[in-house]
Structure 1
Amino acid sequence: MAEWNWVAYTILEVLIAVACCLGNTLVVCAVCVGIRDSLREPTFCFLVSLAVADFLVGVAAVPLAILLDGWVNMTPDLCLLLSCVVLVLTQASVLSLLAIAVDRYLRLHTPHRYKAVATQQRTCLAVSVCWILSCLLGFTPLFGWHNYSTLASDSTNTSSPSFISPPCTFLSVISLPFMVYFNFLGCVMAPLLVMTFLYIRIFWSLQRRLKDSSPQAQASLLRERRLACSLALVLILFAGCWIPLHLMNCLLLFHGPKAVTQGTLYTGILLSHANSAVNPVVYAYRIPKIQQAYSQTWSRLMRLNCCHGDKRVRRSITGHKSYRDDRDDDQEGRLHPNTTKQKSTVMF
């Protein structure tokens, strides 16, 4: 890859990382602070879990993607561990999206039992299970499914006195069969198919109920359909951003390293990371509660800035006024010394 292409890729990755961090921090603050009792609603808890995963993409996955491109020499074990972190964050996003889809399905098809089933304690347990499963599935290569030949050849070289750790790259330690058969087909495509089926059932049921419901009930069903459309859009964007990179891995596995150019591979990586920066924008434009929470958060920040600005102005005015009074008294003392002595005598 040409040097200027690498510079452009790095700049875009840095911009995506900043957007991920700022946007998803705003999402977490808006949901946890701006929306009253939002964390008691399972959907918003799972949205916070997804936002945390997207935030960690900007903090960890993007820097690691730049680092794990042959620029740093490290031991194969450390290289494998850092590569698995990216897989964990991807899996956390998939499972959070799956939890959101299951939650909306249960809310629509079991409305009478939903509050009894989807308690706050069970919601927190579901979020914990999502992250525990993400760690187990993402760190699977640590238990043996990795590039044996690369690690074996590197370990034999450690006995030489002039041993230097090889450059660390993602595909040098992560097995392509693992990425295609286990990660793509099992951990990404299978949940995506389940979510697609659930959203089809949700929209079909909403459409049927809207035809048979009264005008009073239609308003609630329309709000439910709007939220379902927004969450389905998040799912579609995830699939559109991640599937191209997985398809490139399939081409690399079945047709060799020349099947995908380096520039195309970097484009797929950028697209997958950009998904984490796009989600906060979707929340802002498609989910009214989060949109309202955004405006409340911004208004609070602006109010705090205004208050600090007013305090600084008052302090400067007060300090300038006291300085001016002291200066006037000093000038009066020099012009009328007798008067000053009389005043001092009266005071004492």
Structure 2
Amino acid sequence: MAEWSWIVYTVLEVLIAVACCLGNVLVVCAVCVGIRDSLREPTFCFLVSLAVADSLVGVAAVPLAVLLDGWVSLTPDLCLLLSCVVLVLTQASVLSLLAIAVDRYLRLHTPLRYKALATQKHTWLAVSVCWLLSCLLGFTPLFGWNNYSCLPSDSTNTSSFPTVPLPCTFLSGISLPFMVYFNFLGCIMAPLLVMMLLYARIFWSLQGRLKESCPQAQASLLREKRLACSLALVLILFTICWIPLHLMNCLLLFYGPQAITQGTLYTGRLHIYIYIYREREREREGDLTAIFLFPGILLSHANSAVNPVVYAYRIPKIQQAYTQVWRRFSMRLNCCHGEKQIQQSRTGSQANHTATCRSGQKTTP
């Protein structure tokens, strides 16, 4: 890829990272500060978990995507560890979305048991389980399912990885079969299918209840339907943003690099490193297309920046919370500005008073 194209890619990634951090930090502040007793509601706890994962995309995943571009040479174990961080954050987003879908389903179909199940303790336990599972699933390549496990290791080193620094790229350590069979089909597609079924049941049930309920109960059901639509929209956007990248991985695995055109790929200084097992040495295959998918990576990262906008336009409570947070921020700015003006006026009056006293002392015989 040309130098200017890589610069454009880097600039876009930086903008996405800033948007992820600012937008999702605002979501966390809005939910925790602006909405009273919001953390007692499971849905908002899971939204906070999703916002934390999205903000970490801006803090860690986007910088790592730029770093794991073949520009730095790292030991295989460190390169693999950094690559797995991206997988952990993606899995945390998926499991948070799944927890939200399960929560809305239980709230609608088991209202009596829901109050006993959806306690604050159980909710935070579910959040902890989501992150623990994300770490276990995301760090799976560290336990052997990676490209480096086939490389010769140093005989003096007990580690299974070689210690020689290599140019670090994502797929130089993470194997394509792992990304397709385990990460895509098992860890992403399976939860997405479950969530789609849950939301289908939710909307089917809400539609039936709206027809049968009295006018007094319809208002509550309409609020429930609006919230379900908003959360389903978040799920749809996640699917739209992440599926193309995984489909390109499938094409790379089943048909090879020639299946993907140059215009679709993020190409350039990235190369696929092929490890020849018989010769026990690494060779660069410079004529193949690059391993990172330029539009797919940007689209997947942009998903984390879009979610706060969806919350702002679709969820009334978060809209009100945004307004409250902005008002508090504006009031603090005004207070700080007013204190500075008062301090400056006091300093000026003291200086004038001192000058007057000195001039009076000089004129006194």
Would you call these one fold, judging by a TM-score over 0.5? yes
Please give the residue correspondences for 1:318-337 in structure 2 after superposition, counting only pairs within 5 Å: 318-335=346-363, 337=364
Q: How many angstroms does 1:21 deviate by? A: 0.7
Do 1:251 and 1:259's aligned partners in 2 also have CA atoms closer than 8 Å?
Answer: yes
Bigger Rg over Cα: 1
| Range that drifts further, 60-69 or 245-254 | 60-69
1:302 corresponding residue in structure 2 = 330
Question: Could you say which residue in structure 1 is the equivalent of 2:234?
Answer: 234
Q: Structure 2 counterpart of 1:289, which letter?
A: K
Q: 1:114 — aligned with what?
A: 114
Q: Secondary structure at the match of 1:145?
A: coil
**1:101 equivalent in structure 2:** 101
List aligned pairs for 1:16-35, cutoff 5 A.
16-35=16-35
Residue 266 of structure 2 is aligned with which of 260, 263, 267?
A: 263
SS at match of 1:232: helix
Map of 1:78 onto structure 2: 78
Shift of 1:46: 0.3
Q: TM-score, normalised by structure 2?
A: 0.87
Take 1:12 and 1:154, find their aligned partners in 2: how far apart are those partners? Answer: 38
* Residue 197 of structure 1, CA deviation: 0.4
Q: For 1:103-153, what per-residue CA distance to the aligned partner results, in whole angstroms no more than 9, with x for missing partners? A: 00001111122111111111011001101111111111111111157x515
Among residues 265, 271, 275, which one is paired with 2:303 in the alignment? Answer: 275
The reply on whether 1:64 has 2:64 as its aligned counterpart is yes
The yes-or-no answer on 1:125 pairing with 2:129 is no
Please report how far the alpha carbon of residue 165 of structure 1 lies from its aligned counterpart in structure 2 after TM superposition.
1.7
Residue type at the aligned position of 2:122:
R
Equivalent residue in structure 2 for 1:284, among 303, 306, 312: 312
Match of 1:40 in 2: 40
SS of the counterpart of 1:221? helix
Once structures 1 and 2 are overlaid, which stretch shifts more, 324-333 or 135-144? 324-333
- Taking the aligned partners of 1:304 and 1:164, their CA distance within structure 2 comes to 53
CA deviation after TM superposition for structure 1 residue 322, in Å = 2.3
Partner of residue 199, structure 1:
199
Q: How far apart in 1 are the matches of 2:51 and 2:227? A: 17
Q: Is the contact made by 1:57 and 1:273 (CA closer than 8 Å) also made in structure 2?
A: yes
Residue in 2 aligned with 1:92?
A: 92
Indicate if the aligned counterparts of 2:312 and 2:322 stay in contact, CA closer than 8 A.
yes
The alpha-carbon deviation at position 69 of structure 1 amounts to: 1.3
- Equivalent position amino acid for 2:247 in 1: L
- Deviation for aligned residue 1:332: 3.9
2:76–2:148 Cα contact (<8 Å) kept: no
**Corresponding residue for 1:342?**
none
Letter of the 1:6 counterpart: W
Structure 1 residue identity aligned to 2:239: A
CA distance in 2 between partners of 1:15 and 1:259 (Å): 31
The letter for the 2-side match of 1:58 is: G
- Give 2:219's aligned residue: 219
8 A contact 1:76–1:154 mirrored in 2: no
What are the ranges of 5 or more consecutive residues in structure 2 without an aligned counterpart? 158-162, 268-292
- Tell me the CA shift for residue 324 of structure 1: 1.9
> How far has the Cα of 1:263 moved from its partner?
2.8
* 1:51-105 residue CA offsets vs partner (Å, 9 max, x unmatched): 0100111111111111111111011111111111111110000000000000000
- 8 A contact 1:10–1:66 mirrored in 2: yes
- How far residue 320 of structure 1 moved from its aligned partner, in angstroms, is 1.3
Distance 1:331 1:218 in 2: 80
The residue aligned with 1:317 is: 345
Q: Show structure 1 runs of 5+ residues with no match.
A: 339-348
In 1, the alpha carbon distance for the partners of 2:176 and 2:361 equals 89
Aligned to 2:151: 152
* Residue deviations 1:250-300 (CA, integer Å, cap 9, x gap): 000011122223338111001000000100111111111111111111110
How far apart are the structure 2 equivalents of 1:130 and 1:123?
11
Shift of 1:329: 3.6
Amino acid at match of 1:263: Y
Question: Does the aligned pair in 2 maintain the 1:146–1:174 contact within 8 Å?
Answer: yes
Question: Whose helix proportion is higher, 1 or 2?
Answer: 1
Q: Percent identity?
A: 74
Look up the match of 1:346: none
Moved more, 316-325 or 38-47: 316-325
- Give yes or no for contact 1:154–1:166 (8 Å, CA) kept in 2: no
- Could you tell me which amino acid in structure 1 is paired with residue 332 of structure 2? L
Tell me which residue corresponds to 2:173: 173
